[in-house]
Amino acid sequence: MANKIICPHCKSDGGFFTKERITGTAHMYYNSAGDLEEEQGAMYDGLSRHGGTKAYCKQCYKPIGKTKDLASGNHEEESWRR
């Protein structure tokens, strides 16, 4: 089991976030009744992510390190990073 990442500022082990800029075009799909279709995964195909190199504590919002040093590489969802 991997060690938990603990914020050096507030001692939270609740995780971290990154600040990223998303650019591109997305297609949103609707059914014949005008309802948003449930499956929208393809909408991310035309998007690009930039930044995200610094990690910030989800609790106190202070920087806690470089994302490449903290991210496990495991993804909860299928990755769409290009």
pLDDT one-digit tens code per residue, 10-40: 999 999 999 999 999 988 889 999 999 888 8
Regarding pTM above 0.75, the answer is no
**79 within domain boundaries:** no
Number of folded domains that form the chain:
1
**55 within domain boundaries:** yes
Give the residue among 2, 5, 4 at the shortest CA–CA distance from 65: 5
**80 within domain boundaries:** no
**4 within domain boundaries:** yes
**33 within domain boundaries:** no
SS3 30: strand
Average pLDDT over residues 64-77: 82
**Which residues form the domain of 64?**
1-23+42-68
- How far is residue 75 from each of residues 20, 30, 78, 79, measured CA to CA in Å? 17, 28, 7, 7
Pair 9, 60: CB distance under 8 Å: yes
- How far is residue 44 from each of residues 18, 48, 63, 76, measured CA to CA in Å? 18, 8, 27, 16
**How high is the pLDDT of residue 82?**
42
Please list, in sequence order, all residues whose beta carbon lies within 8 angstroms of the beta carbon of residue 49, skipping any fewer than 6 positions away.
Answer: 20, 21, 22, 81, 82
**46 within domain boundaries:** yes
pLDDT band at residue 76, thresholds of 50, 70 and 90? Answer: low
